[in-house]
Amino acid sequence: MRVVETEHLILRRLTVEDSEFILALLNDPLWLRFIGDKGVRTLNDARDYILKNLVAMYERLGFGLYLTELKGTGVSIGICGLIKRDFLEDVDLGFAFLQEFRGKGYAYESASAVMEYGRSSFGLNRIVAIASPDNFDSAKLLEKLGFRFERMVKLADDSESVSLFASDL
């Protein structure tokens, strides 16, 4: 299901047919470093991850992370979307792209469109984002999108603190 279209991209809901892509993305070295190991090692693991995390959020909230693909070619390049985490009061923006598609403006283009989608379709007037303190590329992108650093937060009692950014829409 197509959700957002931009000049160069189409963002749509993920399905189990996207398992190969999710397997590759969740095992990308920067995903593992900055987001964490989700234990997805096989196509079956990827299918389960899509159903239990992504599809379940669409069904529960009406939004989630979306597959980001190049318009015209249909090549899957990353994910970008809205997430509601239990430990955060606000909805947050999430994004991750395969290495060969980083630094080309696709994250900015997709994130800008997702932020507008959140405002217009769900009435969001504030959105947050989290990033590892040493993920300088994500922090730079968030600042370009209009986010400002707010504070450090812990995802769980036994985890490292992450940077919380916020933006009014």
* 3-state DSSP assignment of residue 100: helix
Predicted confidence band at 32 (pLDDT cuts at 50, 70, 90)? very high
Q: Calculate mean pLDDT across residues 3-22.
A: 97
Cα–Cα distance, 118 to 113 (Å, whole number): 9
> What is the model's pLDDT at position 156?
74
Please tell me the predicted confidence (pLDDT) of residue 125: 96
Question: Are 131 and 155 within 8 A, CB to CB?
Answer: no
pLDDT of amino acid 74: 94
pLDDT tens digit string along 86-122? 889 999 999 999 999 999 999 999 999 999 999 999 9
Q: Is the dihedral of CA 135, 139, 141, 142 positive or negative?
A: positive
- What percentage of the chain's residues is helix, strand, coil (to nearest 5)? 40, 30, 30
Residue bearing tokens 């009406």:
62
Query: Mean pLDDT across the stretch 11-28?
Result: 98
**Angle, in degrees to the nearest 10, between helices 106-122 and 136-144:** 50
C-alpha 15/C-alpha 144 separation (Å) is 30
Mean pLDDT for all residues in the chain: 95
Which of 44, 52, 103 shows the shortest CA–CA distance to 78?
103
Note the pLDDT of residue 160. 82
Would you state the structure tokens that stand for residue 54, as one six-digit string?
């992504």
